[in-house]
Structure 1
Amino acid sequence: MGLPPHSRDLAEYGSVLRRRRLLFVICLMAGVAGGGVLFVRTPPQYTSVAQVQVLPTGAQEQINQVTPRQREPLNLDTESQIAQSMVVASIAGQNLKNTDPAGLRDRVTVDVPPNSAILSISFTAPDPLSAAAGAQAFADAYLRNRSRAATDTINAGLKVLAAKLRQVNADLGKTVTTGPVQLRGSAARTMAAHQQAVLARQASSLTLKYDALKTIAITPGTVISPAQPPTRPSAPSVLVYLGSGLFLGLLAGAGAAFGRDRLDTRLRTAADVERLTGLPLLAELPPRPDSSIFPELAATVATSLGDDEYHTLLLEGICAESHARPMARGLGSALTPLAPVSVVTRRGARPDAAVLLVGLRRATSTQVARAVRQLTRQGTRVLGAVTVPPRLSVPEPDPAEQAA
């Protein structure tokens, strides 16, 4: 039973990696070694965290609609962005005596635990003390900025109320100066009295709002977990670096193996002959074969010829020319009792069939394909290939076996 297509694909991929396992392993080890070297050479980074509980300031600010999933009235997503803003970074830079607020901003991250009014402010630095100082500076700078923003909002509201109150008092003073006595007619006096009453109520309402706004106690929040120097670095991570190196090594090794396999046309094993040339493999000679190889090869060749007509068989070596003549003698002796075949080693003898002796680790699929095309144009049918190892000792045919 044949394998399904996806199984054949996996088997082909596995065979490529097995053939190029040395290159694959080298790339894999290089990736892991590169990750290890990068881990050693990367300076350590320390991260400290300060937690801030955000409280309503009392001033008007952006709020959320309270739901079963969002129980905090403050919009903490907005507050987290403010905590990472350039304004807060500038205030933190003043506390740290750092003139690069943009660089400080790149080192800070703010997280919001679900359904909480907590900001977790993390700061990363090359040493533990700097990390703790940075996280605490950003926490204090955020609260300072929040308090200042609330103060500015309240002061702006007080200015608006004071302006309105002055205007109402001025209008009220005009009505008092005119007085209902100076007005003629009961209707005019009634209207003036009503206007005074309205202006008096407005002045009283504005005064109450002004006093209430002026007495607001600003509560921006508090630091509930001060930043502490971390005891171990947060980066680099040995698992991340070695895992990344392993992954990149796998990719590079697989790519190099498939690329090398696609570009390399050298025939190194018997399987490469069938895979790269498409020729049937008639025999695979061991480095030190005995005389029994000739009868076996003769039976295979006679079966491939398939009729009783007289044939001229060409035994042509591709990067194995020195073995063609001794192999031809032995194969010819073994074919004599099986079929009317003469074995030659030259194309000038006008052969009608051919067997290619392919020298492993020396011949290429391009050379084999060129030989097949040339023989086909000459009307010679190529029966298949016989692989020849790099160091082959061709035995002499056993006369006793041939006579038998």
Structure 2
Amino acid sequence: MELRDYLVLLRKRWVTIAVAAGLGLALAGAYSLLTTPTYSARSQVYVSVQGSDSTTDLLQGSNFTVRQVKSYIELVTSPRVLDPVVEELGLADDAASLAQRVRADSPLDTALINVTATDESPQLAAEIANATARSLASVVGELETPTGGGDSPVQISTVRAASVPSSAASPNLRLNLALGLVVGLALGVAVAVVRELLDTRLRSTADVEDVTDAPVLGVIGYEEDAPQHPLIVQESPKAIRAESFRRLRTNLQFLELGPAARTYVMTSALPGEGKTTTSINLAITLADAGQRVVLVDADLRRPSVARYMGIEGSVGLTTVLIGKVGVEDAVQPWGNGNLDVVAAGQVPPNPSELLGAAPMADLLDRLRADYDAIVIDTPPLLPVTDAAILARAVGGAILVVGAGTVHRNQLETALSALGTVGVRLLGVVVNRVPLKGPGAHEYGYYEYVAETGPPTRSGRLADRKGRAHQHARRATPAPAPGGAGTPGSEGPPPPPPPVADRGFPAAVPSGPARSFDDVVVPRKK
């Protein structure tokens, strides 16, 4: 994973990280509130060596003191030092338990020893620290006394007596909260990374490209209200999702499908990836471009084309295949007249056998003769083999991949199912890609605006310019019938330049107004 991948991960899994950080703060706060506060008091002693006044003796004594300080630090928590403290203060602890609350340290290269004692009572903590310092001086004096008698050359003097602390040393609320936050954030990030590594769902075009080398023919966005508007091309032709289907239509023109009518077998790995709505919207966009299109619902197990398009579904493909009606009786026109629909009909007990039999091949041959494009909606690949059988008959299939729905191994299994029967994968359509949030598909050029709503400032300016132009035309006197276009000129006004001079083909068929796609895409007779 690169740095950008981690940033996207943090943005996508921010809820997990925030919950972990909050949990760390809560646990740290609860620990700080439930822990009994303890107080710390410190006394400081100085270790010196008695000797002569010569420089050599003073240097030797100083070196001896620094070396001995380390031994005296270890001596502070010994029973010989702490037993007198327990007896003097009348403590309920023994020397071993008291040693857990007493510690000693020394600044580097000094003859000073700090004796620190902690207790739930601030007064008792100060008394223990002072009593321990006195007991240490007494024990060291005994240990350093020469065997033959005399005074000890080592003297320990208290230079700073412990005072009663005014605030608790533990728990440190700020420190605990900071540690809880840091630990919570670290755990949250770790959990997010692990979940990302274990999550094999395909969520973007890049994930799909890692699995297959087939071209990505289209990327269809997904919004929260997408289930309520399945036929987006028909309901909102200027929506971003509708433009995605037009881009898919354009990319399909570059597929090598031979000279016959183009046949698109649409399938997916699992149910719920949007293959049916993709098939319907694709058929609508092809019909809007002026082509004669037929949409065939070949999902004979869970047909849904008739329900989405609001047509009769009892008579359809199965009725034609078993010979009850002809194909001309099963075809239902829809939309602008360029799109015909063949519903699935009644659900048969043997869908795979029907789709692989000779009547289905004959039906496809007839449809190729009557239409420019055939869009066939088929069942998913993993549950059944219907799509693979039909795709083999037409020479290829288009796989719809639902982002966030299918896992990597499921897509690999679906591709293997096509490869096993020798089906060519024409391309992939990545569906349900979010338009907002992490992993969203970016539309950087422009966004469509709604057809209705309050006019924008640019729209109001355009309206004003249009009205001014109309007023100017009304103020210009009309030319006399059969006369010159302007006073003093002879003959009619010069004709406008040919269309070809303005960058368009000169031969434009006359007749009723037609769309641009109707002009550039010839309709098959």
The verdict on a shared fold, with TM-score over 0.5 as the criterion, is yes
Equivalent residue number for residue 164 of structure 1: none
Mapped to 2, the partners of 1:74 and 1:297 lie a distance apart of 84
Counterparts of residues 28-67 of structure 1 (less than 5 Å): 28-56=21-49, 66=59
Secondary structure class of the residue paired with 1:141: helix
Asked whether the equivalents of residues 49 and 65 of structure 2 are also in contact (C-alpha less than 8 Å), the reply is no
Letter in 2 for 1:284: V
Equivalent residue number for residue 109 of structure 1: 103
Q: Once the two structures are superposed, what CA deviation does each residue of 1:373-398 show, in whole Å capped at 9, x if it has no partner?
A: 212222223312231369xxxxxxxx
Equivalent residue number for residue 262 of structure 1: 197
| Alignment equivalent of 1:78, drawn from 62, 71, 77 | 71
Asked whether the equivalents of residues 220 and 429 of structure 2 are also in contact (C-alpha less than 8 Å), the reply is no
Gaps of at least 5 residues in structure 1 are 1-7, 59-63, 159-212, 391-398
Equivalent residue number for residue 19 of structure 1: 12
| Alignment equivalent of 1:127, drawn from 114, 121, 124 | 121
Asked whether the equivalents of residues 79 and 96 of structure 2 are also in contact (C-alpha less than 8 Å), the reply is yes
| Alignment equivalent of 2:167, drawn from 232, 236, 242 | 232
Q: CA deviation at 1:85?
A: 1.9
Equivalent residue number for residue 344 of structure 1: 376
Secondary structure class of the residue paired with 1:55: strand
Asked whether the equivalents of residues 314 and 343 of structure 1 are also in contact (C-alpha less than 8 Å), the reply is yes
Q: CA deviation at 1:80?
A: 1.2
1:330 pairs with 2:323:
no
Q: Percent same amino acid at aligned positions?
A: 23
Q: Once the two structures are superposed, what CA deviation does each residue of 1:332-353 show, in whole Å capped at 9, x if it has no partner?
A: 545959x976432232332433
Instruction: Identify if the C-alpha distance between structure 1 residues 244 and 332 changes in structure 2 by more than 3 Å, giving closer, same or farther.
Output: same
Equivalent residue number for residue 246 of structure 2: 295
Give 1 or 2: higher helix fraction: 1
Letter in 2 for 1:378: V
Asked whether the equivalents of residues 355 and 386 of structure 1 are also in contact (C-alpha less than 8 Å), the reply is no
| Alignment equivalent of 1:313, drawn from 264, 270, 276 | 264
1:403 pairs with 2:518:
yes
Asked whether the equivalents of residues 298 and 331 of structure 1 are also in contact (C-alpha less than 8 Å), the reply is yes
Asked whether the equivalents of residues 245 and 282 of structure 2 are also in contact (C-alpha less than 8 Å), the reply is no
Gaps of at least 5 residues in structure 2 are 52-56, 227-231, 293-370, 379-386, 435-513, 520-525
Mapped to 1, the partners of 2:32 and 2:68 lie a distance apart of 40
Equivalent residue number for residue 386 of structure 1: 430
Instruction: Identify if the C-alpha distance between structure 1 residues 324 and 45 changes in structure 2 by more than 3 Å, giving closer, same or farther.
Output: same
Q: CA deviation at 1:97?
A: 2.0
Secondary structure class of the residue paired with 1:114: coil
Asked whether the equivalents of residues 316 and 345 of structure 1 are also in contact (C-alpha less than 8 Å), the reply is yes
Equivalent residue number for residue 358 of structure 2: none
Q: CA deviation at 1:119?
A: 1.2
Secondary structure class of the residue paired with 2:114: strand
Q: CA deviation at 1:15?
A: 1.9
Instruction: Identify if the C-alpha distance between structure 1 residues 259 and 278 changes in structure 2 by more than 3 Å, giving closer, same or farther.
Output: farther
Counterparts of residues 182-201 of structure 1 (less than 5 Å): none
Counterparts of residues 150-161 of structure 1 (less than 5 Å): 150=144, 153-154=145-146, 157-158=147-148
Mapped to 2, the partners of 1:249 and 1:38 lie a distance apart of 14
Instruction: Identify if the C-alpha distance between structure 1 residues 332 and 283 changes in structure 2 by more than 3 Å, giving closer, same or farther.
Output: same
Counterparts of residues 127-276 of structure 1 (less than 5 Å): 127-150=121-144, 153-154=145-146, 157-158=147-148, 213-214=149-150, 216=151, 220-267=155-202, 273-274=208-209
Instruction: Identify if the C-alpha distance between structure 1 residues 16 and 293 changes in structure 2 by more than 3 Å, giving closer, same or farther.
Output: closer
Instruction: Identify if the C-alpha distance between structure 1 residues 38 and 217 changes in structure 2 by more than 3 Å, giving closer, same or farther.
Output: closer
Mapped to 2, the partners of 1:232 and 1:344 lie a distance apart of 79
Q: Once the two structures are superposed, what CA deviation does each residue of 1:5-26 show, in whole Å capped at 9, x if it has no partner?
A: xxx6111222222222211221
Mapped to 2, the partners of 1:79 and 1:143 lie a distance apart of 10
Mapped to 2, the partners of 1:261 and 1:24 lie a distance apart of 13
TM, length-normalised to structure 1: 0.69
Instruction: Identify if the C-alpha distance between structure 1 residues 80 and 65 changes in structure 2 by more than 3 Å, giving closer, same or farther.
Output: farther
Q: CA deviation at 1:77?
A: 1.0
Q: CA deviation at 1:306?
A: 4.4
Equivalent residue number for residue 448 of structure 2: none
1:367 pairs with 2:410:
yes
Count of residues in correspondence between the two structures: 324
Mapped to 1, the partners of 2:62 and 2:214 lie a distance apart of 71
Q: Once the two structures are superposed, what CA deviation does each residue of 1:114-168 show, in whole Å capped at 9, x if it has no partner?
A: 3432211011111211210111121111112123324xx44xx33xxxxxxxxxx
Q: CA deviation at 1:68?
A: 12
Letter in 1 for 2:117: F
Instruction: Identify if the C-alpha distance between structure 1 residues 79 and 360 changes in structure 2 by more than 3 Å, giving closer, same or farther.
Output: same
Letter in 2 for 1:296: R
Deviates more, 1:246-255 or 1:373-382: 373-382
Mapped to 2, the partners of 1:327 and 1:46 lie a distance apart of 74
Q: Once the two structures are superposed, what CA deviation does each residue of 1:283-319 show, in whole Å capped at 9, x if it has no partner?
A: 333444525444321221233x247555542211441
Letter in 1 for 2:397: A
Mapped to 1, the partners of 2:117 and 2:213 lie a distance apart of 64
Q: CA deviation at 1:54?
A: 2.1
Deviates more, 1:266-275 or 1:234-243: 266-275
Mapped to 2, the partners of 1:116 and 1:10 lie a distance apart of 49
Asked whether the equivalents of residues 316 and 324 of structure 1 are also in contact (C-alpha less than 8 Å), the reply is no
1:353 pairs with 2:396:
yes
TM, length-normalised to structure 2: 0.54
Asked whether the equivalents of residues 401 and 428 of structure 2 are also in contact (C-alpha less than 8 Å), the reply is no
Instruction: Identify if the C-alpha distance between structure 1 residues 254 and 389 changes in structure 2 by more than 3 Å, giving closer, same or farther.
Output: closer
RMSD: 3.6
Asked whether the equivalents of residues 249 and 282 of structure 2 are also in contact (C-alpha less than 8 Å), the reply is no
Q: CA deviation at 1:218?
A: 7.1
Deviates more, 1:307-316 or 1:121-130: 307-316
